[in-house]
Amino acid sequence: MLWPVPLWPDLRFEVLRAPNGAVWNEWLVRAPGVAGPELRTVDDLAPWSCTVDEAARAFAPARPMEGTAPTRWRLAFTAPDGSGERRPCVAEFTWGLLQRVEGASGHP
């Protein structure tokens, strides 16, 4: 199920439910038909700029990791930095939106 988010018109709040009605997941995703950001290097990963799915597709193969709270997710991947050198990174997301990236030069 998707709901519009007035604060972010390009995003939708998505809730995934099990057949018995239990909530499996709830987070923000890009609205259907809206293009996400171009993610080529770790330098393109600015806070609030992309969703979990967009980062996972841009830097595949990415490995989902347990987050630090129920509304947080982490994603491990390797991405080129501004010089083209590939570095291992871990990105943290809250409600599906990027918060920070660890492990890349110039990032915490």
**13-35 residue pLDDT tens:** 999 999 999 998 899 999 999 99
Question: In the prediction, which pLDDT does 81 show?
Answer: 85
Is 87 within 8 Å of 103 (Cβ atoms)? Answer: yes
Decide which of 22 and 103 is more confident: 22
Q: Where are the domains of the chain?
A: 2-102
Question: In the prediction, which pLDDT does 105 show?
Answer: 55
- Condensed to tens digits (0 to 9), the pLDDT of residues 47-83 reads 999 999 999 999 999 999 998 888 899 999 999 988 8
The CA-atom distances, in angstroms, between 79 and each of 22, 28, 35, 42, 72 are: 35, 23, 21, 6, 21
